[in-house]
């Protein structure tokens, strides 16, 4: 795959000079042309500037022997892994059985150093199989990885990637929907081992907040932090995503981080007090309200893996609260026909503003085949079940009046932690899909609701799933704190955050991939954008190839984010798609080489 794909149409020397003039003389660039345009690319396996074995072995020594050539997670089911760094015999029946069973399990995949839980952006080139002669190739999986155990290991990885102009990927849990924790021919720094947790009752850093806080290493996952906080008397909680296995100090906070507590305390990023972060120059820095405050701002919603590698993060914590929840299912088996089903969806969804104004968080899914609405759960934090039922009863009255069949159940808990563990359903790994998404603004739900439901129908008819999250990040957080973080200010007026999911296999023919991407961008998300023009897009759960991504993701904060990116990472040591300052970057040659367009 590295053989001369493209003939150079002009002198490599001229191109190298041009690249050096643009990006500085220190790094070496690989000139390529692709679809008639000229590019300067990072150094990938086989390139003249790819580090020599002795350089890799020096790096290995610096990182305590924790550098490895990557072997994809599915390899034990295949006779051979044929990678750009050589061929390895990989078949192992016991390991194959384990990986086959574990592939749909999030934590199983998280424990593998380079797996991507949503597999589309790995290119699905080495899935578990019952036929060992099936090929296993690198696809878009990384070439090598460092299992970082110290700050020095991360610094060594960053410095090595910068000096050798390698593609660098930071990988925590591998949850990223957009493929940001994998990348062809790259070097990975895996942060999963950074599991330290400490707490204080009285934060004494800069800023006016003096309450309790948690400091978590880069590898800490939501369930670990919540479990730790629950052991206190009285039990404590913090803002996390609804998914318990997502990391709390990696991509989540850098995108913003929404969850069931967002109605009370805003995004996870709103609760951040401090980061320890290593920037592109390899320097470990503290970022808080006083020191490197620009970086502190950018790390809170400015996009993942764009400004540095977070080593640890400190967040506010809060007293846990009694909570209750209600589930609701509507589908054609409980219903007469499709018209009535959509009427029920319309009724349900028309309560978005009402629900978030009452502090409720609602997680729901709408699936195309069979048509179903799965609301699981409607969460009332700090609400008794009767209080929650009183808020939701008008919806049930409407459904009854329509004659809609549904099933419902409810539960009440002494803590939000207990509800979180009992009512949120586990999620699966190993799916291949393109994911997109949009958010619905309060005003659009108020003024344009019929169009929103028409857009839902368009999405479903186009074969996409919808995952909805009703919350308001402006509900509990004081208005004077709304502007403190880098997230698109439009998010304060959002009442429903939608993910769209278009299934497509990572090894589908290129034409099928193009068709799916086009359907996602233009039909599915296009319908939602048109129905909620005041909405925005969430960088962790959206289509990175949507039009005007800068505005959709960051709105009026984009120019400042761009400046901060240029200050801390002027040469693009870090790259993740559609983050500030990546306009010129492309993965050319069918998703492989990472290059800057000249």
Ligand X SMILES: Cc1cc2nc3c(=O)[nH]c(=O)nc-3n(C[C@H](O)[C@H](O)[C@H](O)COP(=O)(O)OP(=O)(O)OC[C@H]3O[C@@H](n4cnc5c(N)ncnc54)[C@H](O)[C@@H]3O)c2cc1C
Among 139, 179, 217, 436, binds ligand NAG (CB under 6 A): 139
Rule CB under 6 A: is residue 181 a binding residue for ligand X?
A: yes
Phi-psi region of 328 (alpha: psi -120 to 50; beta: other; left: phi over 0): beta
**Is 186 an interacting residue with respect to ligand NAG (CB under 6 A)?**
no
What, of ligand X, ligand NAG, none, does residue 426 touch, CB below 5 to 8 Å by kind? none
- Asked if 146 contacts 189 with a C-beta cutoff of 8 angstroms, the reply is yes
Residues 188 to 207: which contact ligand X by CB under 6 A?
191
Rg of the Cα atoms in the chain = 24
In a 3-state reduction of DSSP, which class is residue 517?
helix
Exposed/middle/buried for residue 181 (C-beta within 10 Å: 0-12, 13-18, 19+): buried
Q: Are 146 and 64 in contact (CB under 8 A)?
A: no
CB of 155 to ligand X, least distance (A): 13
> Which of 3, 401, 510, 511 lies at the binding interface for ligand NAG (CB under 6 A)?
510
Regarding 565 and contact with ligand X (CB under 6 A), the answer is: no
Q: Which does residue 340 bind out of ligand X, ligand NAG, none, counting CB within 5 to 8 angstroms by kind?
A: ligand NAG
- Does residue 245 contact residue 173 with C-beta atoms inside 8 Å? yes
Q: Which of 119, 172, 271, 324 binds ligand X (CB under 6 A)?
A: 172
CB 68 within 8 A of CB 145: yes
Candidates 112, 153, 171, 347: give the one binding ligand X (CB under 6 A). Answer: 171
Contact 405, 328 (CB under 8 A): no
Question: What's 180's DSSP letter?
Answer: T
Sheet of 594-597: strand order equals 30-34, 37-41, 594-597, 585-587
Distance (Å, rounded) from C-alpha 170 to C-alpha 305? 7
Looking at the DSSP bridge assignments, the partners of residue 493 are none
Q: Which is nearer to ligand NAG, 55 or 583 (CB)?
A: 55
Selected range binding ligand X among 169-177, 321-329, 482-490, 529-537, rule: CB under 6 A: 169-177
Does 208 bind ligand NAG (CB under 6 A)? Our answer is: no
Residue 407 site contact among ligand X, ligand NAG, none (CB < 5 to 8 Å, cut-off depends on kind): ligand NAG
**Among residues 342, 530, 590, 598, which is the contact residue for ligand NAG, using CB under 6 A?**
590
Q: Does 412 bind ligand NAG (CB under 6 A)?
A: no
Residue 348 near residue 395, CB atoms below 8 Å: yes
Q: Is the peptide bond preceding residue 370 cis, with omega within 30 degrees of 0?
A: yes
Q: Tell me the C-alpha distance between 51 and 156, whole Å.
A: 14
Query: Given the complex with ligand NAG, which of 23 and 120 has the nearer CB atom?
Result: 120
Q: Is residue 238 part of the contact set for ligand X (CB under 6 A)?
A: no
Instruction: Judge contact between 387 and 380, C-beta under 8 A.
Output: yes
- 257 binds ligand X, rule: CB under 6 A: yes
Q: Which two tokens stand for residue 406?
A: 């549904």
Taking residue 468's Cβ as centre, other Cβ atoms within 10 Å add up to 21
Q: By CB under 6 A, tell whether 592 contacts ligand NAG.
A: yes
Determine if 283 is a binding residue for ligand NAG (CB under 6 A): no
Please tell me whether residue 478 binds ligand NAG under the rule CB under 6 A.
no
Binding status of residue 276 toward ligand X by CB under 6 A: no
Q: Which of 85, 52, 55, 90 is nearest to 72 (CA)?
A: 90
In the set 513, 519, 565, 593, which binds ligand NAG (CB under 6 A)?
A: 513
Q: Is 67 in the site for ligand NAG (CB under 6 A)?
A: yes
- From the list 11-19, 163-171, 320-328, 350-358, the region that binds ligand X by CB under 6 A is 163-171
| Tokens representing residue 555 in the block | 């709105």
> Considering the rule CB under 6 A, would residue 358 count as an interface residue with ligand X?
no
Given ligand X, ligand NAG, none, residue 577, with its beta carbon under 5 to 8 Å by kind, binds none
Residue 44 or 490: the one with the smaller Cβ distance to ligand NAG is 44
Residues 316-355 that bind ligand NAG (CB under 6 A): 329, 331, 333-334, 336-337, 339-340
The answer to whether residue 279 forms part of the interface with ligand X (CB under 6 A) is no
Query: How far apart are CB 247 and ligand X at their closest, in Å?
Result: 3
Q: Measured from the CB of residue 315, what is the shortest distance to ligand NAG in angstroms?
A: 16
CA terminus-to-terminus distance, the chain: 23
- Closest approach of ligand NAG to the CB of residue 116, in Å: 13
CA 34 vs CA 2, 28, 123, 594: distances in Å = 14, 19, 20, 12
- Cα separation, 150 vs 418, whole angstroms: 34
Among 16, 88, 243, 340, binds ligand X (CB under 6 A): 243
Instruction: Report CA-CA distances (Å) from 593 to 229, 459, 544.
Output: 43, 33, 18
409 binds ligand NAG (CB under 6 A): no
According to CB under 6 A, which one of 304, 436, 544, 581 is a site residue for ligand X?
A: 304
Residue carrying structure tokens 């978590």:
216
What is the spatial distance between Cα 552 and Cα 554, in angstroms, rounded to a whole number? 6
Contact 135, 82 (CB under 8 A): yes
125 binds, among ligand NAG, ligand X, none (CB under 5 to 8 A by kind): ligand NAG
Binding partner of residue 2 among ligand X, ligand NAG, none, CB cut-off 5 to 8 Å per kind = none
The residues of the shown chain that bind ligand X, judged by CB under 6 A, are 117, 169-177, 180-181, 191, 218, 241-243, 246-247, 249-252, 254-255, 257-259, 304-305, 309-310, 427, 540-541, 576
């Amino acid at each position: 795959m590295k053989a001369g794909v493209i003939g150079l149409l002009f002198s490599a020397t001229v191109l190298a000079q041009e690249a050096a003039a643009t990006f500085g003389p220190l790094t070496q660039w690989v000139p390529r042309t692709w679809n008639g345009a000229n590019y300067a690319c990072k150094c990938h396996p086989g390139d003249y500037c790819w580090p020599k074995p002795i350089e890799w072995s020096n790096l290995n020594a610096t990182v305590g022997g924790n550098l490895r050539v990557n072997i994809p997670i599915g390899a034990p089911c295949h006779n051979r892994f044929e990678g750009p760094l050589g061929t390895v015999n990989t078949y192992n029946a016991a390991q194959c059985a384990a990986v086959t069973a574990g592939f749909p399990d999030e934590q199983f995949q998280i424990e593998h150093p380079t797996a991507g839980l949503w597999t589309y952006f790995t290119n699905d080139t080495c899935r578990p199989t019952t036929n060992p002669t099936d090929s296993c190739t690198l696809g878009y999986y990384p070439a090598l990885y460092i299992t970082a155990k110290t700050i020095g290991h991360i610094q060594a990885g960053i410095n090595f990637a910068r000096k050798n102009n390698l593609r660098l990927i930071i990988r925590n849990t591998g949850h990223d929907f957009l493929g940001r924790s994998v990348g062809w021919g790259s070097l990975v720094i895996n942060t999963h081992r950074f599991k330290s947790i400490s707490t204080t009752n009285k934060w004494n850093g800069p800023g006016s907040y003096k309450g309790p806080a948690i400091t978590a290493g880069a590898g800490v996952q939501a369930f670990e932090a919540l479990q730790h906080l629950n052991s206190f008397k009285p039990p404590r909680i913090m803002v996390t995503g609804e998914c318990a296995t997502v990391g709390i100090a990696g991509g989540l906070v850098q995108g913003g981080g929404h969850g069931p507590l967002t109605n009370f305390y805003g995004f996870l990023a709103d609760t951040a007090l401090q980061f320890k972060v290593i920037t592109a120059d390899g320097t470990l820095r503290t970022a808080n309200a006083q020191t490197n405050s620009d970086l502190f701002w950018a790390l809170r919603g400015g996009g993942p893996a764009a400004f540095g590698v977070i080593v640890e993060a400190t967040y506010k914590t809060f007293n846990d609260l009694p909570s209750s929840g209600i589930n609701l299912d509507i589908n054609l088996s409980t219903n007469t026909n499709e018209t009535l089903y959509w009427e029920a969806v319309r009724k349900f969804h028309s309560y978005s503003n009402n629900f978030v104004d009452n502090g409720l968080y609602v997680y729901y899914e709408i699936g195309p085949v069979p048509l179903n609405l799965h609301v699981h759960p409607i969460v009332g934090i700090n609400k008794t079940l009767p209080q929650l039922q009183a808020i939701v009863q008008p919806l049930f009255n409407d459904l009854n009046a329509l004659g809609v069949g549904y099933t419902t159940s409810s539960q009440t808990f002494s803590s939000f932690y207990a509800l979180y563990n009992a009512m949120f359903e586990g999620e699966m790994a190993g799916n291949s899909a393109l994911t997109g998404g949009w958010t619905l603004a309060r005003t659009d739900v108020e003024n344009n609701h019929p169009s929103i439901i028409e857009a839902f129908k368009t999405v479903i008819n186009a074969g996409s799933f919808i995952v909805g999250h009703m919350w308001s990040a402006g509900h509990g957080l004081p208005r004077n704190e709304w502007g403190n973080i880098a997230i698109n200010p439009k998010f304060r007026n959002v009442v429903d955050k939608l993910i769209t999911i278009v299934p497509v296999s990572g090894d589908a023919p290129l034409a099928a991939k193009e068709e799916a991407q086009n359907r996602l961008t233009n039909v599915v998300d296009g319908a939602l954008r048109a129905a909620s023009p005041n909405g925005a897009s969430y960088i962790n759960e959206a289509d990175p190839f949507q039009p005007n991504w800068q505005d959709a993701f960051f709105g009026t904060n984009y120019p400042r984010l761009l400046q901060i990116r240029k200050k801390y990472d002027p040469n693009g040591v870090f790259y993740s798609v559609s983050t500030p300052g990546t306009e010129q970057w492309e993965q050319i040659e069918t998703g492989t080489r990472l290059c800057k367009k000249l």
